[in-house]
Structure 1
Amino acid sequence: MKHRMLRSTLLMAGFALASGGALAQTAEPLLLEEIIVTARKRVESLQDAPQAITAFSAADITEARITSIDDVAKLTPGLNYAPLFGPAAATPIIRGSTQTFGAPNVGVFLDGIYLTGKAAMDIALSDLERIEVIKGPQSALYGRNTFAGAINYITKAPQMTMGGEGEVTVGSHGMLEGRASITGPVIADKLALRLGVSHKEFDGYYRSSIDNGRIDFEKSQGAAADALFTPTEALSARLRFSYAKDDSGQPASAVVRANGIPRTVAVALNGGVPVGSPQTYVSELPELGKYLPVNTQRRIAAEPVDYGNRQKTYRTSLALDYDAEAVTLTSITAYNKRDNEYQIDGDNTVCEDSLGCRNFGPPLPTFRPIAFGQSQFATSSEDNTTKDFSQELRVSSPDEGQLRWIVGGFYYWSKVSAVQRSLSPMLPAPPAFGYPLSRLGTEAKSLFASVAYDVTDALTITAEARQEWEDQTYKQRPTVTAGVTAGDASLRNIDLKQDFKFFTPRLIVDYKISDDVMAYANAAKGTKTGGFNTGLRVLESQFTYQEESSWNYEAGLKTTWMGGRATTNLAYFHTDWKDQQVACQNPVSLGGSSTQRTYTCNVGQAVINGIEVDAQMRLTDILTASVGYSWTDANYEKFVDDSLTATLAAGGLPPMNFNGKHLPYVPKNKLFASLKADFELSPGYEMFMRADVNYQSKSYIRADNLAYIGDKTVADFRTGLRLDNGVSVTMFVENAFDDRTPLTAVRFFDSVNFSIPAPLVTGAVGRKAGVTLNYSF
């Protein structure tokens, strides 16, 4: 790691020196671009918002080639990204508020519209005007599941003047990306349209060692139509429809055991853990080879089945604004539908005679004949459809004046229908087990308000609050799918219902020390709803889990200096987190053998302290530097769990005490540095270069703090040419030094060793390179 950091630093220094020969070629003011945000449901400058926000403009998105939530996280202090079971199950983590089960801790929004569940990460980041990462609880203004913060993607609106853009990218590993958009008036000053399409292909970085098939490939297409109608100066209506089709391979993941010998432990290689615990991995998790023991095509009843995730997403929204001078009325209506199906390797291993897994002998069952044409132990599969509707109404005062206020209401419902099943030909008949047909329903209603009062010209106090009511229902029925009966005895009829009631306030005080310096402090309560545990062999007493809550305290300083050439923003935060929703294990009997099942329970309490620094500076008329750093100390304060005892040793250990242990998936240190140069080569030709280096320290994958992902450093470089006719060409290298430290890992069921859990490691994508051709007018 130190060598990678040294190479990155030296290369960035050389980059700066190489750019130095073109100094002082323009007379434009050396000012940073001002970014306007709507994080508080008002239009304001990023530097005037009294809370920690990282925002990316349209220029930032293009120059840094931000195409995924992973790219956003690399350039945002305090934001991490953990795709625990692939991109479709991506988990953003803000300020150490980690989450692996249940609803997300971070709410994701598109044009202010809440997107349901982890599928929100599947958005193709194209045709965006801005990205806002809002840190700390946002429950007062944003509502449900903004427990740790919110990410808001803002799309480009239709324009009353003609314009458009087209872009094509080709690169290594079969990379092919294209997008195009056009906007313009249909009726002058009254009606404008914006149309856009996008396409993306990536062959994947990893391959199957079994059939050489592609694993982590991606293929997606999307289209959007957007209309802006302004019949009067006071009234505007924006109607938007988008469609996306995504097809991706299964995650590049593999099980890593304590050593290379199935069902055997070498104590010396396993951190001295007793022989009675062959499942415990104690060390830094290794990089994965490029070939993984994962089948990509398997035959079930002679029918070929491609493994991976496929989904279609439809989004429709209508935003109305009416300016009545004294107040502004706003309505946002949205309806979304997502059809998803996935089928993935359920064991991430290959079963061959050489491994001795045809017949373990008592007490494990004999491997079933390969009647399904499979060489694996287990397959995980699901078909689901998600529908949701939301309606927000709010009334707001003008942005000027000593007293400013917002009052509103919000209504939301979602319905998720799913057929879930697993196949395991090694188990005694029937060879299918898993979840049956299920229906999950959610209905939420809330009222919210925000009042800001200027006590003096420098001092402002803002109070916000939301009252929310939420009802949840769950129905489960056994079913028959593809001629295979889900025959486990625990698959019974289930009808569940629960409701929640929350009050989430926030108080903000900000003081303008000068025109360029603002100090602020705030206190906010965050709450996240509970839910249902409906997995195989979950006890009735574990069917539900309750809400979790936190109090977050933040103090910060926002400064603009050197006449607008530089900004430095500092923030300190402290979070008290109680009734934490964590993963617990329940010992069960499956196929005649003892194993464990994971469910969500409320047993944890945690304390998080952190510091964030975000700085930018125009060094010269061509050079701009950015630096971001976050230190996050996230530890369990009260977490005693006897359900995890079996994962450390066989026999009677006392309940495990995790007090003082670091929360999983939270690196203590995270740093990025960027340097970019723009200079004129000759009239009509402008050259640009950019270097980004991102570092994060190690992070644990479980509460026991035994296995961990090592520190990683990723460097990206770009250079290109812009012409004054709107054409630009960019060459880029991402992960230039080929850091393949695992992307993430999670505790998993090791099917080769059957009842023994082991880390499931997801590999990082190695070095990629490509060229982008862009034309805009």
Structure 2
Amino acid sequence: MLGIGLGALVGATVLAGPARAQETKDARDENMIIVTAQKRASDIQDVPLSVAAVTSSTLEKSGVNTIEAVQTLAPGMNMSAIGSGFVSYTYIRGAGTNVIDAGSDPSVAFFQDEVYLAGTAGLQFDLLDVERVEVLKGPQGTLFGRNAAGGAISIITKRPSHEFDAWAAADAGEYGLFAVRGGITGPLADRWAYRLSAAHRQRKAFTDNPAGRDPGSIDNYTGRGQIMYDGDDLTVLLTGEFFTSDNGMTNQFISTADTASLLTPEAAAAQPADQSFYRRYYDVDGFEKQNLYAATGRIEWDLGPVLLTSISAWRDNHFKRLQDQDGSSADAYALATDASDKTFSQELRLSGESDRFEWIAGLYYYNGKTERIDRLDSGPDFAPAPLRNSLGIYGQNIKAISYAAFGQATYEILPALKVTLGARYSKDKKRSNQDTDPIGLAGALQRRTDPRMEQFRSCCDRAI
């Protein structure tokens, strides 16, 4: 796939005289928010984009500790998730997609420290030691490129400091909510510094399942370690992080019509009468588990007239779930999913500026591999008789390679008037292999005797 984009931005500011200009500058200095929405540090008021920047202090005061909760602080952003993050639907100003197939890329792109986060599964990781979250509204194809047609959400974490500092915080609430987080930073040696941070969050389920494990419980752990060399002309930042979770499955509430299409009349009539939002009976001990590991190397080299930036990133995100699809205590329909996203990306860019002119140009490479297996298990209580007591196995293996070259330049025509031009050329290639053994082949997949039933149980019963 080939793509090329060209955009132009013009911004103007009118000031009411020298005295007014000085007052405005002083006020801005006191309340300045620095963002990297254009891949360079700039005052948010000087960026010719619609950007909502949520700072660390705002996140802390608002009790926001997940990316989904940022929507309460960023107008125009809407994000919803199935369960604890199996799928995340994200829209900015109404633009977005709800495609959830393996290998699908949302039109609102997610980045952490300028590293693209692939896929739709497992994006509900906890925010830890974050400097700010920038929500860029509108197409961001020039600089952010890959799948940012609807906008971009950029998470910027805090860097190590050469001054010692430590912090800790804890929260407690209803349903056994308990969250603790903390970190430490300081010097290692001359020009070297470190930063370590970790968090744990747990909460009981809102709904009780008398027949087994409660749906919707949360048990997450997050950690990040950083080492930074900060020389006169060279800065090197190495980051390693992980996120792991063992949460309950998504709570299922099935309508009367759907119950009739999923359960036999006998199974539907046998359902307990004391069910409500807070009490549901499930015969499947479902779960949603995630293991995420990532490593990033960032180099910033000041060459005098230009700044060279290199960002190398590796991510391994593994998500598994077992779901009671019929939402009842009947043995009717269950679904198990095992999804893995492994990615490597490399970005190289040069940037420079003078009194009236600033520019940036770069190259980008991305290599991703997605593997996903869905296993469908129908039991004796499943309403469609031809599909009872059978297994369906759907496997997908997708490889993606992307190359891009991009550039953007801004010229100050007048003291209060600038023009910005940008372009990007990209080439994407995806290869998909799929293996389908559909549910319901008459007599072919008797789940009580077929050895692949052990595959299903093994996938669903063991931890990652």
**In 2: Cα distance, 1:177 partner to 1:85 partner:** 19
SS of match in other structure, 2:288: strand
Q: Is 1:48 aligned with 2:46?
A: yes
SS of match in other structure, 1:62: helix
* Residue of structure 2 equivalent to 1:693: none
Computed over aligned residues only, the root mean square deviation of the Cα atoms, in angstroms, reads 2.4
Q: How much does 1:340 deviate?
A: 1.9
* Residue of structure 1 equivalent to 2:365: 411
* Residue of structure 1 equivalent to 2:200: 199
* Residue of structure 1 equivalent to 2:457: none
1:252–1:292 contact (8 Å) kept in structure 2: no
Q: AA paired with 2:434?
A: Q
**In 2: Cα distance, 1:110 partner to 1:87 partner:** 17
Q: How does 1:592-603 map to 2 (within 5 A)?
A: none
The CA deviation string for residues 406-458 of structure 1, in whole angstroms up to 9 with x for no partner, is: 11010001111222210011354773343433211111111100011111111
Q: How much does 1:255 deviate?
A: 2.1
Q: How does 1:159-308 map to 2 (within 5 A)?
A: 159-188=161-190, 190-208=191-209, 211=211, 213-230=213-230, 232-257=231-256, 262=260, 289-291=276-278, 293=280, 295=282, 298=284, 306-308=285-287
Contiguous gaps of at least 5 residues in structure 2: 1-26, 262-274, 443-464
Q: Kindly tell me: are residues 120 and 327 of structure 1, through their superposed partners in 2, closer, same or farther at Cα, counting changes over 3 Å?
A: farther
1:82–1:93 contact (8 Å) kept in structure 2: no
* Residue of structure 2 equivalent to 1:424: 378
2:376–2:439 contact (8 Å) kept in structure 1: no
Q: How much does 1:349 deviate?
A: 3.7
* Residue of structure 1 equivalent to 2:396: 438
The CA deviation string for residues 592-647 of structure 1, in whole angstroms up to 9 with x for no partner, is: xxxxxxxxxxxxxxxxxxxxxxxxxxxxxxxxxxxxxxxxxxxxxxxxxxxxxxxx
* Residue of structure 1 equivalent to 2:6: none
* Residue of structure 2 equivalent to 1:379: 334
* Residue of structure 1 equivalent to 2:268: none
TM-score by length of 1: 0.49
Q: AA paired with 2:278?
A: Y
Contiguous gaps of at least 5 residues in structure 1: 1-28, 264-287, 299-305, 351-374, 480-485, 491-777
Q: How much does 1:204 deviate?
A: 2.1
1:402 to 341, 356, 379: 356
- The number of aligned residues is 396
TM-score by length of 2: 0.80
1:348 to 324, 327, 343: 327
**In 1: Cα distance, 2:169 partner to 2:219 partner:** 17
2:206–2:278 contact (8 Å) kept in structure 1: no
Q: Kindly tell me: are residues 90 and 401 of structure 1, through their superposed partners in 2, closer, same or farther at Cα, counting changes over 3 Å?
A: same
**In 2: Cα distance, 1:452 partner to 1:45 partner:** 15
* Residue of structure 2 equivalent to 1:463: 421
Q: Kindly tell me: are residues 121 and 227 of structure 1, through their superposed partners in 2, closer, same or farther at Cα, counting changes over 3 Å?
A: same
SS of match in other structure, 1:141: coil
SS of match in other structure, 1:63: helix
**In 2: Cα distance, 1:31 partner to 1:65 partner:** 27
* Residue of structure 2 equivalent to 1:657: none
Q: How much does 1:113 deviate?
A: 0.4
Q: AA paired with 2:376?
A: S
Q: How does 1:586-625 map to 2 (within 5 A)?
A: none
Q: Kindly tell me: are residues 30 and 462 of structure 1, through their superposed partners in 2, closer, same or farther at Cα, counting changes over 3 Å?
A: closer
The CA deviation string for residues 639-693 of structure 1, in whole angstroms up to 9 with x for no partner, is: xxxxxxxxxxxxxxxxxxxxxxxxxxxxxxxxxxxxxxxxxxxxxxxxxxxxxxx
TM superposition outliers: structure 1 runs of 4+ over 6 Å: 29-32
**In 2: Cα distance, 1:390 partner to 1:417 partner:** 18
* Residue of structure 1 equivalent to 2:460: none
**In 1: Cα distance, 2:425 partner to 2:198 partner:** 40
**In 1: Cα distance, 2:395 partner to 2:29 partner:** 58
**In 2: Cα distance, 1:450 partner to 1:458 partner:** 19
Q: Percent of pairs identical after alignment?
A: 27
Q: Is 1:448 aligned with 2:449?
A: no
* Residue of structure 2 equivalent to 1:339: 318
Q: How much does 1:219 deviate?
A: 0.4
Q: How much does 1:88 deviate?
A: 2.8
Greater mean deviation of Cα atoms: 442-451 or 414-423: 414-423
Q: Kindly tell me: are residues 44 and 75 of structure 1, through their superposed partners in 2, closer, same or farther at Cα, counting changes over 3 Å?
A: same
**In 2: Cα distance, 1:250 partner to 1:471 partner:** 34
1:477 to 399, 414, 435: 435
Flag the structure with larger Rg: 1
Q: How much does 1:325 deviate?
A: 1.3
Q: Is 1:318 aligned with 2:297?
A: yes
Q: Kindly tell me: are residues 181 and 207 of structure 1, through their superposed partners in 2, closer, same or farther at Cα, counting changes over 3 Å?
A: same
**In 2: Cα distance, 1:416 partner to 1:91 partner:** 19
SS of match in other structure, 2:68: helix
* Residue of structure 2 equivalent to 1:632: none
